[in-house]
Amino acid sequence: MSGGEFMEQTISAAEWQVMRVLWAHPGATSQEIIQALQEGFDWQATTIKTLLGRLRKKNYLRMDKETSKYHYYPLISEEEHLQGQVELLLATICSTKQGQLVENLLDTGTFSQKSLEQLASKIAQLQKTAPERIACQCLAGQCTCGHHAKGV
């Protein structure tokens, strides 16, 4: 399934934690999911089962009965979901500020040497074809980039 099918169904921070367990352990039983989450969170089993039910309704996971146990499988990959989240975030800011957003991510995140090398390579590749200037796509009054104030 593509990430686009899930764009209207956002998930909460708690649901995100459940999905992280399922991405790491597809086919986990509810008991395995509960055990994994109770190690890091003070959540009751009923809370986790409620979260599983919500994620099923949102089509983020499926439940299969195998023997006498239910097994849960993600219907969207972590990569697809992350891509959808990035697209949602970028849609909320002025296109002229996307570079600033990336800088903020770099300042906030923790990166290995290898990750930084890959980022530097990607930036060098993008720099070859990047426009000199990015046009604002916002409606007048939606941003502070100054595009509309100048009448550009």
CATH number at residue 21: 1.10.10.10
Mean pLDDT (the chain) is: 90
Tell me the pairing of strands 61-66 and 28-29.
Answer: unpaired
Cβ neighbors of 60 (< 8 A, separation 6 or more) are 6, 9, 11, 15, 19, 74, 75, 76
Q: Are 102 and 93 in contact (CB under 8 A)?
A: no
Asked if residue 27 is part of any domain, the answer here is yes
Work out how many domains the chain is built from and give that number: 2
Q: Looking at residue 8, what is its pLDDT?
A: 54
- Which pLDDT band, with edges at 50, 70 and 90, does 1 fall under? very low
Asked if residue 21 is part of any domain, the answer here is yes
Strands, sheet with 28-29, edge to edge from the N-terminal-most edge strand: 28-29, 69-74, 61-66
If asked whether residues 65 and 128 sit together in one domain, one would say no
From the list 68, 63, 67, the residue with the least C-alpha distance to 49 is 63
Q: Mind listing the pLDDT tens digit for each residue in 92-123?
A: 899 999 999 999 999 999 999 999 999 999 99
What 3-state DSSP class applies to 69? strand
If asked whether residues 105 and 138 sit together in one domain, one would say yes
Q: Looking at residue 50, what is its pLDDT?
A: 97
Reading the block at residue 108, the tokens are: 């906030």
Q: Looking at residue 99, what is its pLDDT?
A: 92
49 or 140, higher pLDDT: 49
27 — alpha (psi -120 to 50), left (phi > 0) or beta?
A: left
Q: Looking at residue 58, what is its pLDDT?
A: 94
Assessment of whether the complete model's pTM goes beyond 0.85: no
